[in-house]
Amino acid sequence: MLGDIIYKKLDELAEFSKDGEGVTRLPFTKEHKEAITWLEDLMNSANLTTKIDNIGNLIGEYKSPTKNAKTLVIGSHQDSVINGGKYDGALGIVLPIMCFKDFYETHGALNYNIKFIAFADEEGVSFQTAFLTSKAVVGSFTPDLLERVRYDGKTLKKSLENFGLNADISECKINDVDTFLELHIEQGPILDNKNLSLGIVDAIQGIERYHVEITGFAGHSGTIPMDMRRDAGVGAAFVISRITEFAENLKNIVVTVGCLELIPGAVNVIPGKSIFSIDIRAMDPLLIKTMVDKINSVLSETCEKRDLSFVLERKMKADSTICSKNVINMLEESMKSAGVPIFHMTSGAGHDAQEMATIMDAGMLFIRCKKGISHNKEESVMTEDIDVACKVLAEYFKCYK
Ligand SMILES: [Zn+2]
């Protein structure tokens, strides 16, 4: 069955990872190069012609013999988080290619074109901004992003050049495309709880990410009385607990402080600086705005009270997205034809589909992952669910118009 073959292919792709637990495949690295070389072979074996655009996206194209044919775009991201799983992103690249190969070999030519994309950087681990490479595809990439610096001190521009790309991002914009479809593991527990293989995504939450720096004054932990300290670590602790409480009461919003660093970070030194991240997600943009206003006021109050100063900088923003009715209808039709129960849901996680939706009809199909575990080496999917997704995608290939 196709499910078993795809499952094995995903094991192979997962080998292109930095040493350590799970999969670590960051963009513009040796592992990325190895992965896209492997994916290029897979695309070629599926009768696709391949190219790599100037931001490192691998694109496999099927050209229909039909004149003035429409173009369907299908894709997901090749990169992972640090110590992530085998299926986040990867499943949405490998499954559609393998499914298309099977479909084409059985049914012959299609009356529309398809572009399969393996996006280089979706997670934003290296340059602290998500959807970097789908932004380039839709033309919303701004040149300042090229100056972003990653973990080894290299700018994005330099990383692209070292990867063999010329960094002329304007060339990446795709035109004459009609629909984008992304298949992705759910990364949450809803499908598993309902014992369903698939879910149609109706909408994707909006995200904003912030970088916060609180500055105080470092000093000896033994000699400076409590009331004479300018402790940036304590400032951060108060801010984090107050904004978390606020979010809990606000409802329908989630707020996460995932990174926190105290500087200099020694057991006997009062922190002179604290640096942390804030990730905010909600469907309603007004709720996000309310949260950001609150963060500003809590930072001001806390810093004033404790003689500290702060900088709050937005690193990333993606609006919430309503998926295309057209794509939702075709997914419903495909599930019906495949005899699969229809279930609708929203996405708590952000996806390249949000960027793609800014220039074309876009939608998503979620595949169950065990217990909703993701961004973790324990991430897992069942071959039976891959088979069900293939059946539905084959019906989608039939009904796409
Ligand atoms: Zn993903």
Residues 243 and 392 in one domain: no
Query: At 401, is the pLDDT very low, low, confident or very high (cuts 50, 70, 90)?
Result: confident
**What are the angstrom distances between the C-alpha of 58 and each of 55, 150, 177, 282, 394?**
9, 21, 17, 31, 23
How many Å lie between the centroid of ligand 1 and the Cα of residue 124?
Answer: 11
Residues 328 and 303 in one domain: no
Residues 129 and 167 in one domain: yes
How many Å lie between the centroid of ligand 1 and the Cα of residue 324?
Answer: 20
Residue 130: pLDDT over 90 = no
Residues 238 and 220 in one domain: yes
Which percentage of the chain shows pLDDT scores above 90? 97
- For residue range 143-163, what is the model confidence (pLDDT) as tens digits? 999 999 999 999 999 999 999
Report residues near ion ligand 1: CB below 5 Å.
Answer: 88-89
Last residue of a domain, one of 285, 318, 351: 318
pTM tops 0.75, yes or no: yes
How many Å lie between the centroid of ligand 1 and the Cα of residue 120?
Answer: 12
How many Å lie between the centroid of ligand 1 and the Cα of residue 203?
Answer: 16
Last residue of a domain, one of 286, 318, 350: 318
Residue 390: pLDDT over 90 = yes
Q: Mean pLDDT throughout 343-366?
A: 96
Residue 60: pLDDT over 90 = yes
- For residue range 173-229, what is the model confidence (pLDDT) as tens digits? 999 999 999 999 999 999 999 999 999 999 999 999 999 999 999 999 999 999 999
Residues 232 and 326 in one domain: no
Number of domains in the chain: 2
| 213: Cα separation from own chain's centroid | 25
How many Å lie between the centroid of ligand 1 and the Cα of residue 81?
Answer: 9
- For residue range 361-383, what is the model confidence (pLDDT) as tens digits? 999 999 999 999 999 999 999 99
Q: What is the CATH number of the domain that holds 43?
A: 3.40.630.10
Residues 106 and 146 in one domain: yes
Residues 353 and 333 in one domain: yes
Residues 304 and 273 in one domain: yes
Cβ(165)–Cβ(171) below 8 Å = no
Residues 306 and 329 in one domain: no
Mean pLDDT of all residues in the chain?
96
How many Å lie between the centroid of ligand 1 and the Cα of residue 80?
Answer: 8
Query: At 17, is the pLDDT very low, low, confident or very high (cuts 50, 70, 90)?
Result: very high
- For residue range 267-311, what is the model confidence (pLDDT) as tens digits? 999 999 999 999 999 999 999 999 999 999 999 999 999 999 999
Residues 85 and 143 in one domain: yes
How many Å lie between the centroid of ligand 1 and the Cα of residue 39?
Answer: 17
Last residue of a domain, one of 261, 291, 318: 318
Residue 1: pLDDT over 90 = no
- The boundaries of the domain holding residue 285 are 207-318
Q: What is the CATH number of the domain that holds 300?
A: 3.30.70.360
Q: Residue 318's pLDDT is what?
A: 87
Q: Residue 18's pLDDT is what?
A: 97
Query: At 167, is the pLDDT very low, low, confident or very high (cuts 50, 70, 90)?
Result: confident
In the three-class reduction of DSSP (H, G, I as helix; E, B as strand; rest coil), residue 127 is classed as coil
Cβ–Cβ contacts within 10 Å for residue 34, how many?
A: 15
C-alpha neighbours within 13 Å on the C-beta side of residue 165: 26
How many Å lie between the centroid of ligand 1 and the Cα of residue 242?
Answer: 30
How many Å lie between the centroid of ligand 1 and the Cα of residue 89?
Answer: 4
Residues 167 and 54 in one domain: yes
Q: Residue 145's pLDDT is what?
A: 94
How many Å lie between the centroid of ligand 1 and the Cα of residue 77?
Answer: 6
Longest dimension (CA), the chain: 80
Residues 29 and 154 in one domain: yes
